[in-house]
Structure 1
Amino acid sequence: MKFASVAAGGLLVFDGGLYPFAVGLLLATIAQGVAQASTPRGQSVAVPPCVTGTLLLALAIIALAAISAALHGREADSLDHVARLLLIPWCAWLAHGMRLPRVAVWYGAMLGLLVAVGVAGWQIHAGELRAGGGGNPIVFANLVSGLLAIALFAGPHTPGLRTWPQLVAWLVGGLAIIWSGSRGALLVWAALGLLAWMRHGDSRRRVRWLALALPGAAAMLALVGWLGLHAPLRLEQIEPNLVRFAHGDPDSPIGARLELLGLAWQGFLAHPWSGVGIENFGSLVRELPGCRTPSPMGMCVLTHAHNDFAEWAATMGLPGLAGIIALYGLPLACFIRIIRRTTGVPGASAQASWAGVALVGVYLGSGLSQSIFAHAATASAYAVFVGLLLGVALHEGVSPAPCAKQDAAGP
């Protein structure tokens, strides 16, 4: 399971990078199953309620998606992305039962960030407009943001061992995001850096962190200037995009997102209980006047709402909206409960829980401007890392006790 966890982060940005993790997951499942079968009754590790809860949630969402697909004549492959949610309880069960070390997940995230910045730098040097690891640059930036959350908050607990790894992770993550050209992910990067700085201990350590971060950021910008930035971050285009949208032209990055939110709202109002059908948001886009002309707008190729909440509400109605809220809310509630329970308890750690809160926060924030679960890579990454961190948090958040039953207790 340790190998699988490191591989999950280290190879995440590659197309098919989770295949080695899948192999490790299957082997770990077999090993854990054999161990459970050979354990005397009454001494096996109990399944914590949070793991059971995420399993029931995943099954409910899959059932909802299946009903939506059946009602609207969609193929079975439309369930592919939501079926990946089963990885949350699966990974959590294994990480908890096998007592996966938190640093295994952290090593994977650190390795993944180094790989990501290397790939991004190579692509920019080769003349690519935006780094994407061979795929969608925005998806690439979201994956990097998730890895960065783990790298900043799941590292070694010893204060002296946190400063340099955190700084390296933050800077290389920022480089990869800048080269991806994603404005939203850049805001996430800045927010994660601020949160890491605030949690860095007393004022002396914070000043030290800041003193090291500033020259590091300057070196990062110098490297960006040396290799070049073929696709600027377009920060100066935000106001013109809004002006164009106000004058009836939605065919710009920001204008398109606002138009898609309006379409999602209209679709939700028209079908508040069933929605327009899973993976059928593109039908709303194609009905736009600008998409029914011989020269359609550029945004007409978009097939999702670029917002998780709008997407699920428009395609699966109120049940879908409740599902996406629970998909973020249930793991977040579990992590927060573990943090509250471990406060002041000798021998218990909330480090993995804090990383989990940061990770869910990253995907929640990214999901306001992107459809995270419309892409296989980001859907898989969310499920895998939330599951791993939840499993680690469940066994780290228990004070050592001689009774195995106490050790297996969960929130």
Structure 2
Amino acid sequence: MLLMTRLQGSLWFGIDKALYLSACVVLAAFPALMFVKPSLSNTCFGLLLGWSAIALASSGRAGVAEYGAILRRYWPFMLAMAGLPLAVLIQQLATGAETLHVPYLYLRFALFIPLVIGMVRLGRPGMQSIQWGFMVCALVSALWLHEVAAAGRPSHVGFSNVIPFGNLALLTGMLAVISIGWNRPGEYLQAGLKLVAGFAGLYASYMSGTRGGWLAIPVLALIALAASRRLKRWHKAAVLAGLLGLMVLGWYSSAMVQQRTAAVVSELSQSVQHVTSDTSIGVRLQLWRASLELIQAHPWTGVGPEHFEAALQTFAARHVITPLAATMPHSHNELLHAAATLGIPGLLAILALYLVPAAFFLRHLRGTDRGTRVASAMGLALCSGFMVFGLTEVMFATTLVNAFYSLVMAFCFAYVVARQSKMSAPMAP
């Protein structure tokens, strides 16, 4: 059965063109405003949910039936995106909580499900508007970090911690580069701007000094190259060699990079020799050890997200970790933090957030349709990037980052599903 025939076909009968165009602008505005004005970006997320509700209501019974078919056919994907809020409910039920409540921090992942229908109704041209938001985000982030990092590595950029800021700037830059695959032959200006955005994302990651983010650069580059059918193998090899050369050159020419990489060895040595544990690496090692102890003590329920900091204080009182480590809000590792706070269900939920979408997009990355390959590469870059970022940071600790993951995932998924159904995008009347 061809999915979304009615969902796409009835667009212009129930929804005004101005509303459709507004939704396209809002979709592009979300990543563009993500760091500049988080409140507006959050508003964009809410408006897109409203668009999804209007889209579903205007599609009638036939459209609702088609949406139900999407849910049934792709239920593993839906379950994976709803896994973290479900893990929160399981934890509350298992510990006998008086009231069941899923904080908005976790609920945003489940909102992927209604967002999908809004993305489907935007159609192919509408969904592609997000590429300009990626480009603006990377460019603005690079300029902003260039300014604030002039006096040294900052702890925050605006409202955001520098680590997720640098990570997402890198990711949006690479997503902009991947979107070059949507360009028509001869659109050199657009392709050039997207390449500039890609370099801006690399520069923002460099200026942030986020070593965990640097680990993701070759992974994201490989995914971007895998999506391209225009480049021959030797072209791709040359790009990889150039990127490697650029990274080596950056290491040799940048005192900051040398200092940040040398600090890893130094801090590890200090921690092992018990000189001091209150370094960036030392604190992480303490948090990981404490998290493992919490998992061992509470394997199925964890201590609960609201009790994690109190548990760290208990460890500090027992001299298991230092007072500095006890002030940290999370484990600095996505998997360990989920398992420590939500138990094994939380661990499985995070793995599902990474691996189920990765398997879906990897399967479609080998397809013959160019548009599908581009969207699949974006989706794979999203979950792979977060997977690498999560090795040394808890990215899912803020509602804005969670909204970014949920919304971009909904866009990538809807684009692939729409193309797989062999339906053309709705065009303006």
Same fold? TM cut 0.5: yes
1:12-411 matches, within 5 Å, as 12-14=34-36, 15-37=38-60, 46-49=69-72, 52-69=75-92, 71=95, 79-101=103-125, 102-125=127-150, 129=154, 132-157=157-182, 158=184, 161=187, 164-197=192-225, 200=228, 201-203=231-233, 205-206=235-236, 209=239, 234-248=260-274, 249-289=276-316, 297-339=323-365, 343-344=367-368, 349-400=372-423
In percent, how many aligned pairs have the same letter? Answer: 22
Q: Report the TM-score, using the length of structure 1 for normalisation.
A: 0.81
- The answer to whether the 8 A contact 2:155-2:161 is kept is no
Residues 1:55 and 1:211: Cα distance change in structure 2 (over 3 Å): closer
- C-alpha distance in 2 between matches for 1:217 and 1:365: 18
Residue 31 of structure 2 is aligned to residue 9 of structure 1: yes
- Please state which structure has a larger fraction of its residues in helix: 2
Q: Report the TM-score, using the length of structure 2 for normalisation.
A: 0.78
- C-alpha distance in 2 between matches for 1:149 and 1:61: 27
- The answer to whether the 8 A contact 2:171-2:382 is kept is yes
- CA deviations over 1:303-326 (Å, ceiling 9, x no partner): 211111111111121111111111
- The answer to whether the 8 A contact 1:171-1:216 is kept is no
- The answer to whether the 8 A contact 2:77-2:357 is kept is yes
Secondary structure in structure 2 of the residue aligned to 1:280: helix
- The answer to whether the 8 A contact 1:120-1:131 is kept is no
- CA deviations over 1:89-146 (Å, ceiling 9, x no partner): 2222211233143421211111111121122123234777356233210121222133
Q: In the TM superposition, what is the alpha-carbon distance from 1:394 to its structure 2 partner?
A: 1.2
Residues 1:339 and 1:211: Cα distance change in structure 2 (over 3 Å): closer
Q: In the TM superposition, what is the alpha-carbon distance from 1:87 to its structure 2 partner?
A: 2.7
Unaligned runs of 5+ in 1: 405-411
Q: In the TM superposition, what is the alpha-carbon distance from 1:267 to its structure 2 partner?
A: 0.9
Q: Tell me which amino acid in the other structure corresponds to 1:266.
A: E
* Count of paired positions: 395
Residues 1:277 and 1:35: Cα distance change in structure 2 (over 3 Å): same
- C-alpha distance in 1 between matches for 2:96 and 2:329: 16
Unaligned runs of 5+ in 2: 1-22
Q: Tell me which amino acid in the other structure corresponds to 1:359.
A: L
- C-alpha distance in 2 between matches for 1:180 and 1:57: 31
Residues 1:93 and 1:366: Cα distance change in structure 2 (over 3 Å): same
- C-alpha distance in 2 between matches for 1:193 and 1:41: 39
Secondary structure in structure 2 of the residue aligned to 1:99: helix
- C-alpha distance in 1 between matches for 2:63 and 2:271: 66
Residues 1:276 and 1:358: Cα distance change in structure 2 (over 3 Å): same
